[in-house]
A and B are shown apart, each in its own frame.
Chain A
Amino acid sequence: MTTQTSPQRAAVRRWALLGVAAAGWVGLYAVNEVFWTWLYATVFRLDITTGWASMLHFFSYDTVKITLLLSGIIFVVTVLRSFMSIERTRALLGGRREGVGNVLAASLGVVTPFCSCSAVPACIGFVSAGVPLGVTMSFLIASPLVNEVAIALLLGLFGIGPTLLYVGAGLVIAILAGVVIGRLQLEGQVEAFVYETRLRGQVIDSTAGLTWDDRLAMGREEVASILRRIWPYLLVGIGLGAVIHGWAPADFFARYAGPDNPLAVLVAVAIGVPLYSNAAGILPLIDALYDKGMPMGTLLAFMMATVALSLPEMILLRRVLKPRLIATFAAVTALGIVAVGYLFNAIL
């Protein structure tokens, strides 16, 4: 029985298992492309550079690659995040002023464990604890915008440069949007009950007393739960990406949505806002569009609009925020995304 072994042996066993898993991950990642090329080109004798075969090859390779990237990065991020809690974040933000508070809130939005179903309790928790509204909004914008799924996929598909660009742009949008909302004095646009909320009993830290085994188990569960939730988006995204990859003429998107079209960013954001997907569904598509000549700024703006602003989250937030504040939040964030899109298209 494992429960009978000494703590030292249990620790050795735990880290050894983790090491084996990590080595397996690296091995699979390394042979992925080689395997599919061998299977389709050598075994089935298909021409994987065009048409159906190219689509099939792209789909198989991308599905495995993205699943591996997601599992690895979500696991690592969740374990690291188990050292940070939203209670600690709130304590850090309490009493902060505009500026410093917004920068801190946006950064903490990236590292604090958070899901959109917690947007409402977090919003109430922050505002009722005296965190300024603008600072709270910086947190609520940064959290979904700069998330681990997006970072994992950008890193894997585009490398470190565009990833840093994305994270930096996301932080700037969250900081500025929070400052603007703070300046607009919209405190009256928060439902009154939020200010009247009084704590009963003691607040407990949601990550208090965790052991390494707990943290690793949380990582595994998070990987399973995110993959369970996003796999349909992922498959549709990769499927669309494969179709574009295999069939769209090379200059099709460059011609209609290339750097020469001044409206491309606006159109991309207008399509992205109502579209409800997540980074996992959007990035394979973006990868394929980039291959076909669409500029990075337009694509990042499209992705940001899709993940940062979603109708379901706004409907949830309606319980605590009045329509005018929600509309302001959406408008300011969308404007920031459009600006970032044009900026990147101009400088890249």
Chain B
Amino acid sequence: MHVKILGSGCANCVNLEKATRQAVNELGLDATFEKVTDHADIAAYGIMRTPGLVVDEQVLLSGRVPTTRQVKDLLAAR
């Protein structure tokens, strides 16, 4: 599983990554993380509010920082 954290580096992206890493650990998943900071790349995913969470090229969430529980739900529902 490949996780991308989209955002230009404000506090929201750091918090999103933290929640996502926690969720991945709790679910016992195997994931690689990547930070996407380039504006053109972020826009290509159709994201207009950072931060964004992309897993295996699928946008799961944008515009807000979720709780670990919400990330777990999103990952489980995939």
Contact = CB atoms under 8 A, between A and B. Distances in A.
B44 to A, nearest CB: 6
B76 to A, nearest CB: 14
Contact of A118 (B44, B45, B49, B59): B49
Contact of B46 (A125, A319, A320): A125
A49 interface: no
B48 A320 contact: no
Contacts of B57: 200-201
A87 B52 CA distance: 14
B46 A203 contact: yes
Contact of B63 (A86, A193, A198, A201): A86
B60 to A, nearest CB: 8
Interface in B30-72: 39-40, 42-50, 57-65
A118 B48 contact: yes
Contact of A125 (B10, B43, B58, B61): B43
A120 interface: yes
Given A113-B49, A201-B46, A207 B63 contact: yes
Give chain B's interface residue range (CB within 8 Å of chain A). 20 to 34
B48 A218 contact: no
Nearest to B42: A121
Interface string A191-203: 0011001111111
Contacts of A207: 63
A245 interface: no
A204 B48 contact: no
B48 A200 contact: no
Given A117-B8, A201-B57, A122 B48 contact: yes
A134 B57 CA distance: 33
A319 B48 contact: no
A197 B44 contact: yes
A90 B63 CA distance: 15
Contacts of B50: 117-118, 121
Given A117-B8, A124-B39, A201 B49 contact: no
A50 interface: no
A204 to B, nearest CB: 5
A128 interface: yes
Nearest to B13: A117
Nearest to B47: A121
6 contacts: A114-B49, A125-B46, A204-B59, A206-B49, A206-B64, A320-B39
Interface of A: 85-87, 90, 113-115, 117-118, 120-122, 124-126, 128, 193-194, 197-204, 206-207, 218, 221, 316, 319-320
7 tightest Cβ-Cβ pairs between the two chains A and B: A206-B63, A203-B46, A125-B48, A124-B43, A206-B62, A86-B48, A117-B10
Given A118-B49, A124-B43, A199-B44, 4 more contacts: A124-B39, A197-B44, A204-B62, A206-B48
